[in-house]
Structure 1
Amino acid sequence: MNKKRASIAFASLCLIATLKAWKKNKCLKRNKKQWWIRPGLRHRATSGFYSTLRFKLRQQDPQWFKNFVRMSCEDFDYLVEHLTPYIGKSNTRFRKAISVGERLAVTLRYLATGDSFSSLMTVFLIGKTTICHIVHETCAAIFTALKDKFLKVPNTPGQWAEVADQFAKRWNFPNCCGALDGKHIMIQAPANCGSEYFNYKKFNSIVLMALVDAEYKFLFVEVGAYGRESDGGVFARCKLSSALADNTINFPPRRPLPNEADPMPFVIIADDAFPLKPYILKPFSYREQVMSHKIFNYRLSRARNVVENVFGICAARFRILRRPMDVKPENAKTIVLAICVIHNFLISRNSSYLTRTDTDNETNGELVAGNWRLELGPNGKLISLRASTTLGRPADDAINVRAAFMEYFMTPYGEVPWQYNRTIIHNSF
């Protein structure tokens, strides 16, 4: 009897050992990499598109190079030099590191086209998981390396006065320190996010809040607010809102408008989504307007159109903004910040990134649409914040500031000759 029990126990132990060995072998087979480098990607150094881009296109067809990465060879080299301390990798005994130039080319092509990582894999012969890491790391490095030089908020009264002088010269709007607007950036809904990112236009988004100068450059950007948040709430929680309220942004002291005597505050201009403040001008209601209100709305809209152009140009140049980003919200935020700083960088470099025909222009008061409008079409623009109806009554001093600007635009010194012919005034061109 004892021998029978012993044999049964021994057989059970053998069966258990066999099952464990089978399970371990199955896990090893499942987790074992099939290749160290996928066969189709092994000749990246000689057959990948970056080798052609680097050696042939730069010399034989620079325009193709520019169309491919959205910048000239000189601008590309500048970025490579400044990004090397952040994303440069060392070669190992097992493989050569992907160069900074190749990482930058992959990232710029992703931003320019919005192609999937799988599509970029077939072009650059780099694994799609690696491309995913490269894009997010390079975008973060672009913002970190360039923000202090090309996306720096003015912080002295003199710097803000220079911005205001630009608006007065180019848009006939004195004491204006920037045009403010917010846009919804489309993203794929993250897992288990509920309705946090679901906005009033019925898609998921994060909000880009931006202040823009008269030369089509970003002065301030903040990205990441939930798309479902109320539009007044997005700005109320924005860093710019508290900085303006406390004047920690260092706006200059009041000064008179040209040929006027009474000192007036410096302001930023915005649309109906924002509150009327002594430092924020917004349009009058479009219901039952008198002529002076129409004139003011036209002049404000004319100057504020600069921010619409900036968003439109970014969406036309970097098409990743025109489709839902299939990345985590924090990575989408990094991508948008990188695009903003690249936009400023290219304008500051005096490259052909932005030409006169790319932006809206006026001929005798009539709008000539910029190329970006023709490229994007009526449905290609980024979606604005919804005009708020819950902001409450503005303070008397805010109402008085707006009225003073309105009266100035009706004087011989403040008017533009064609403004009285525009009896139908829109919020934006």
Structure 2
Amino acid sequence: MASEEDLILIGLVVALLPNNNHNKKQKIKRKRSKWVKQWLHRQTHNNLINELRLEPDDYRNYLRLKEEIYTELLGLVFQIIQKEDTIMRQAITPHERLTSTLRFLVTGRNYEDLKFSTGISAHALGKIIPETRRAIFDVLQENYCKFPRTRQEWEQIGLDFENRWQFPNCLGAVDGKHVRIVPPAGSGSYYYNYKQFHSIVLMGIANSNYELILFDVGTNGRVSDGGVINNTSFYKALLNEKLNLPPINHRNNLPYVFIGDEAVALRKDFLKPYSERELNVDRSNFNKRLSRARRIIKMFLAY
């Protein structure tokens, strides 16, 4: 058993160790050696964007938007993401915030890597990008991902499918996309899909004009495609008849339907292609028509 002198000695040794709490507090209080690194301060990203304006194809490839669309988006989010200058430094502009966020979405690069091309520190990007993404979602969701609420809106979608793609009574094309991710630590095969990579699933519904009317994201990639759609709030509302769908098209006396691939369950309001083993001439023609109408969502999710 240690004597009283031994305990006192042990206490002194622990107190003098370099990782003790006192030294930790002193480390936290250490002053910055510089406020901004010089190469970050030069803001080279703005110069690159200005140069790309002279090459429209490169500009569109860099931000995945035409300049006029980018300008419109910047105008929508400007007031939301604008910050005030202080006596210590100028705020990062809305233009810099938006272009950095778009590059993050386009490339999927981490903040440490993105700071070299944007001229913004990784710490600042960790605050800027989530704020800007939320602002983009808030200003676009009502007008650019508007889910139909009335029977008249659903009927218009069905009429548009008939006129544009010659597939009557269709209310939307449904499909999913596996978005590749780095899985969380300890998740095992929870996100590992049949394509042999880790993913979460983006499920979307598009109208005849290549516009999303609904999307659902977050289901782990291990779940089958049929299971993914079963987990969506859309499918649950469809089963419970809470979507306010028109019961029948009075011009042809047939019900309105959604269309999907082989993974979805066949229902009176959900069509899928015939199996290859069951094809005849009529069924093959139906599959071609269905595939032609479904190409909308397939092309949308291909980006």
Say yes or no: does 1:127 pair with 2:121: yes
Deviation larger for 204-213 or 237-246: 237-246
1:288 Cα deviation from its structure 2 partner: 4.2
1:63 Cα deviation from its structure 2 partner: 5.0
Aligned partner of residue 69 in structure 2, secondary structure: helix
Normalised to the residue count of structure 1, the TM-score between the two structures is 0.62
Deviation readout 1:314-355 (Å, 9 max, x if unpaired): x2xxxxxxxxxxxxxxxxxxxxxxxxxxxxxxxxxxxxxxxx
1:15 Cα deviation from its structure 2 partner: 5.5
1:62 Cα deviation from its structure 2 partner: 5.0
1:194 Cα deviation from its structure 2 partner: 2.7
Aligned position for 1:203? 197
Deviation readout 1:27-73 (Å, 9 max, x if unpaired): 635873443222321333xxx2214525x554x55554343322233
Aligned position for 2:39? 40
1:136 Cα deviation from its structure 2 partner: 2.4
User: Contact between 1:50 and 1:105, CA under 8 Å: does it hold in 2?
Assistant: no
- Residues 13 and 112 from structure 1, CA distance in 2 versus in 1: closer, same or farther, beyond 3 angstroms? closer
Alignment of 1:126-205 (within 5 A): 126-205=120-199
1:111 Cα deviation from its structure 2 partner: 2.2
Q: Aligned letter for 1:255?
A: N
Q: Aligned letter for 1:49?
A: H
Say yes or no: does 1:255 pair with 2:253: no
Which consecutive residues of structure 2, in runs of 5 or more, have no partner in the other structure? none
Normalised to the residue count of structure 2, the TM-score between the two structures is 0.86
Deviation readout 1:381-400 (Å, 9 max, x if unpaired): xxxxxxxxxxxxxxxxxxxx
1:93 Cα deviation from its structure 2 partner: 2.3
Alignment of 1:3-402 (within 5 A): 19=16, 23=20, 24-25=22-23, 28-29=26-27, 32=30, 33-44=32-43, 48-54=44-50, 57-58=52-53, 60-256=54-250, 260=252, 263-312=253-302, 315=303
In structure 1, C-alpha distance between the alignment counterparts of 2:84 and 2:94, rounded to whole Å: 11
In structure 1, C-alpha distance between the alignment counterparts of 2:72 and 2:237, rounded to whole Å: 33
In structure 1, C-alpha distance between the alignment counterparts of 2:218 and 2:172, rounded to whole Å: 21
1:215 Cα deviation from its structure 2 partner: 1.1
1:228 Cα deviation from its structure 2 partner: 1.4
In structure 2, C-alpha distance between the alignment counterparts of 1:22 and 1:207, rounded to whole Å: 44
In structure 2, C-alpha distance between the alignment counterparts of 1:253 and 1:18, rounded to whole Å: 78
User: Contact between 2:174 and 2:206, CA under 8 Å: does it hold in 1?
Assistant: yes
Q: Aligned letter for 2:131?
A: E
1:280 Cα deviation from its structure 2 partner: 0.3
1:266 Cα deviation from its structure 2 partner: 0.6
Deviation readout 1:113-137 (Å, 9 max, x if unpaired): 3344334312221112322332222
Aligned length: 296
In structure 2, C-alpha distance between the alignment counterparts of 1:52 and 1:304, rounded to whole Å: 39
- Residues 101 and 306 from structure 1, CA distance in 2 versus in 1: closer, same or farther, beyond 3 angstroms? same
Aligned position for 1:3? none
Deviation readout 1:101-152 (Å, 9 max, x if unpaired): 1100111122233344334312221112322332222112211221011111
User: Contact between 1:178 and 1:213, CA under 8 Å: does it hold in 2?
Assistant: yes
- Residues 286 and 93 from structure 1, CA distance in 2 versus in 1: closer, same or farther, beyond 3 angstroms? same
Aligned position for 1:348? none
User: Contact between 1:283 and 1:297, CA under 8 Å: does it hold in 2?
Assistant: yes
* Cα root mean square deviation, aligned: 2.8
1:232 Cα deviation from its structure 2 partner: 2.5
Aligned partner of residue 277 in structure 2, secondary structure: coil
1:201 Cα deviation from its structure 2 partner: 2.0
Q: Aligned letter for 1:92?
A: T
Query: Which structure carries more relative contact order (alpha carbon 8 Å, separation 6+)?
Result: 1
